[in-house]
Amino acid sequence: MRKYVIVLLLTIISFQVVYARKKVDRDSVLRIMDKVAGWQLREWQEHGRKHPKWYWTMGAGYAGYMALYKIGDNSIYLHEMKNIGDSLKWNTGPNRFMADDYCVAQMYSQVYSNYKEPGMIAHFKALADSIIAKPHTESLEWKNNIASREWAWCDALFMGPPALAYLYTVTGEKKYLDITSKLWWKTTDYLFDKDENLYYRDSRFFTQKEANGKKVFWSRGNGWVMGGLVRVLDNMPSDYHGRAKFVELYQKMAEKIASLQNRDGTWHAALLDPKSYPVKEASGTGFYCYALAYGINNGLLPYDKYHKVVEKAWKALMGCVQPDGKLGYVQQIGEKPEKVTAEDTEVYGVGAFLLAGSEVAKMVAAHH
């Protein structure tokens, strides 16, 4: 067993060296995206799914598959997502008002935009109307099961806001974008640290410290935020009355995140204490790579300042891919910085990787 582990680690390291030296172009990005996506599909087919199809982990994965479908023009991924939606009868999870349970609706609206079948968004549209009707006057303090009713943790900003924003795009009903904005800023006013330009995971972390005495800012937690932020912006018209405030927030976070990139091109589990978590982490890195590349591609960030950060991050992400396409170094389900190994994987990590690749492919093609 020990011999097998050593051989596996040496193989992974050799792949990392190859990817670090490889030139990044659109075709190479699409090839490795297909490789990672194919591994995950085979894993589901051969070993089953670890989570229900409607679960938030899966919803984040589906976001990546839809991005790969759009950039790679491969209908197999669209058909796979439609089959999943059909099997769920286009319902979200059982906890109606918890953002995790309607993350999957992002995919529903995207599939609907291709097929125009009203049943694909009917259930979520009714739920979204219920969300709008609620008063949203509760405190976001982490108690009394607040997460089942409000976006009281930073991860929720990837799960809930984009679902409502995509619904706006496919229906044209501005009320869905307005509730997105209203609830986004409620969460931000509560969890965003204006000194660090980062989000606490939830109120329990306001006073916690890392081993080095710094505040606790979780890499994937802030990755969820940046991923959600650009997905909202992608569905927000240029003349929307609140857009400038979202752009300002995005640019502040982008500058901060870029300054925290480690020498290996990744962001480790604890943003302000990488020495306590020296191993690279792929899910937070994937979301940052995605969000920063999106900013370059959409004129929100200057190419000259940020493209090296993105390219370095993408090469590091490629180095997390094993020879068979498995994406490793993905911190497991949690709520704070934790240790990670080369063998750790999860579908949200695959989703982040595919989202990152979709924007990197556009960036390198535009700046060939």
Which residues, 6+ apart, have CB-to-CB distance to 17 below 8 Å? none
pLDDT of residue 22: 63
- Spatial separation of the C-alpha atoms in residues 139 and 305, rounded to whole Å: 39
SS3 state of residue 289? helix
pLDDT of residue 368: 77
SS3 state of residue 337? coil
Q: Is 27 a catalytic residue?
A: no
pLDDT of residue 110: 98
Catalytic residue (choose from 34, 101, 155, 344): 155
Nearest C-alpha neighbor of 131 from the set 150, 144, 145, 112? 150
pLDDT of residue 21: 55
Mean pLDDT by 10 residues, the chain (368 residues): 47 49 87 98 97 98 98 94 98 98 98 98 98 98 98 98 99 98 98 98 98 98 99 98 98 98 98 97 98 98 98 98 98 98 98 98 94
pLDDT of residue 9: 47
